[in-house]
Structure 1
Amino acid sequence: MRVVLIVLAVALVLYALLDCARTPEDNMPARMPKLVWVCMIIIAPMVGAIAWIIVSRVKAAEERGGYVEPTVWSSREGTSFRRPERPRPSGPDDDPDFLRNLEQDIRRRKHHPQDEPKADPSGEADPRTDSDPEAEGDTQAPQP
C-alpha cells in the first residue's frame, strides 16, 4: 500500500513539473515566474504540485469565462464556474438598496435638522441665484 502512495505522489509531482515546464512564461498563474513554481514543486512536492494544479486550472477557467474544459479528470460535459448574475432592478423604486438609503436619508434629516442648509437670516436672496439680465449679456432697453 505504501508503494502505491509513493508512486502516486511521484506521478503527481512529475505531472505538475511537466505541466509547469510546458506552460509559456506569459501564461504563468498567480503572477509568479516559472522558476519559482518549479522550485516550489520540487521543495514541497505534494503541496507545490497540488497548488500548481489548482491555480493553473483556475486561471485557465477564468480566461475562458468560467468554463473548464472536459478532460480525463472531469465530466464529459465540462464544468462551468459562472456565478449567476443578480437581477438588476428596472427602476429606482424597485431597488431595495436605493429605497433603504432614501429612508435612512429621510430619517437623518428628520432627526438632525441642523445638518440642513439654512436660509440667510437677513432675508436677502442669494446673489448666485438672482438673475440679472444685464449680467447675462442682455442689453435691451426696458419697454415703456
Structure 2
Amino acid sequence: MLRALAVLAAIALAVYTLTDCAQSEGRHVRMLPRGAWFVVILVLPVLGPLLWIALGRPLAGGGPERGARPGPLAPDDDPDFLRRLDEQIRREKHERERGRGRGTEDDAG
C-alpha cells in the first residue's frame, strides 16, 4: 500500500513538473533548455522533477527581464500620453479663443 502511494506520488510529481515545464516560457527557464528539462524529468523519475523545481523552474514574480525597462503603469505615467494630452488642450484652448474673437467682431460690425 505504501509502495503504491509512493509510485502515485512520483507519477503526480512528474505530471505536475512536465505540465509546469510545458507552460513556462522558454526564455525564462533556467539552467537547461526546456526540451532538455523534459528529458531530465522523464529519465530521472523522482530526482528529475525535484531538479526542475529547484533549478529549472522560472523564478516566481520574475517581472521584466534584466535590462528591460518596464512600460508605464498608468496613462499619466506615459510621457507620450501626457505630451499628446497637452497638445490637445492647447489646440482646444486656441480654437475657443479664436471662436470668441470671431464672435466679438460679428457683434461689433
Q: Which residue of 1 aligns with 2:46?
A: 46
Task: Check if 1:23 corresponds to 2:63.
Answer: no
1:1-144 mapped onto 2 (5 Å cutoff): 1-30=2-31, 32-56=32-56, 59-61=58-60, 63=62
Aligned equivalents of 1:48 and 1:4: distance in 2?
Answer: 19
TM-score by length of 1: 0.39
Q: Which of 1 and 2 has higher RCO (CA within 8 Å, sep 6+)? A: 2
* 8 Å CA contact retained: 2:37, 2:56: no
CA distance in 1, matches of 2:56, 2:44: 17
Report how far residue 63 of structure 1 moved. Answer: 3.5
Partner amino acid, structure 2, of 1:22: Q
Higher helix residue share: 2
Structure whose alpha-carbon radius of gyration is higher: 1
The code of the aligned residue for 2:62 comes to E
Q: Which runs of 5+ in 2 are unaligned?
A: 64-109
Corresponding letter in the other structure for 1:27: H
Work out the CA distance in 2 between the residues paired with 1:22 and 1:42: 16
What CA RMSD, in Å, does the superposition of the two structures yield over aligned residues?
Answer: 1.8
Rounded Cα–Cα distance in structure 2 between residues aligned with 1:45 and 1:35: 16
Gaps of 5+ in 1: 65-144
Q: CA deviation at 1:50?
A: 0.2
Change (3 A) 1:61 1:24: closer
Contact kept? 2:29, 2:56, Cα under 8 Å = yes
Taking structure 2 as the reference length, the TM-score comes to: 0.51
Q: For residue 17 of structure 1, what is the amino acid of its counterpart? A: L
The count of corresponding residues between Structure 1 and Structure 2 is: 62
Superposed structure 1 runs of 4+ greater than 4 Å apart: none
